[in-house]
Amino acid sequence: GENVEQHPSTLSVQEGDSAVIKCTYSDSASNYFPWYKQELGKGPQLIIDIRSNVGEKKDQRIAVTLNKTAKHFSLHITETQPEDSAVYFCAASSTDSSYKLIFGSGTRLLVRP
């Protein structure tokens, strides 16, 4: 089955700097890769996603890149702000009939003012 590895487990950056979180996946059939943000005491919330027919997607300060050959994808946050501090999860799923969303272990991002 699918296995998703996520690095780093913790990341501390200065406000205004960029942050990059990387994930690798094992199942070449996976073709949907979402990123979720989890704030303290809340459930995860989707912030951006990418499908396998697209190499890069941007939404304001966040972007996701996908390399299907290498089976890895990354989240990029530019001009970080204190409110970006949270736990971020990558995930992967296959769009066949046995749909399952498998998550990475999470990255705790701290943006220092």
Partner 1 sequence: DAGITQSPRYKITETGRQVTLMCHQTWSHSYMFWYRQDLGHGLRLIYYSAAADITDKGEVPDGYVVSRSKTENFPLTLESATRSQTSVYFCASSDRAPGTEAFFGQGTRLTVV
Q: Closer to partner 1 at the Cβ: 25 or 89?
A: 89
Kindly report the backbone phi and psi dihedral angles of residue 56, in degrees, each rounded to the nearest multiple of 5, phi listed first. -150, 145
For the chain, how many residues are written? 113
Minimum gap (Å) between residue 113 Cβ and partner 1: 26
Contact set for partner 1, span 71-90 (CB under 8 A):
89
Angle at 88 between CA 53 and CA 103, to 5 degrees: 60
The token pair at 12 is 């501390």
Q: Does 104 bind partner 1 (CB under 8 A)?
A: yes
String of contacts with partner 1 for each residue 29-68, x by CB under 8 A: --xx-x-x----xxxxxx--x-x-----------------
In this structure, are residues 22 and 74 in contact, taking their beta carbons and an 8 Å threshold?
yes
How many Å apart are CA 38 and CA 43, to the nearest integer?
6
String of contacts with partner 1 for each residue 5-24, x by CB under 8 A: -x--x---------------
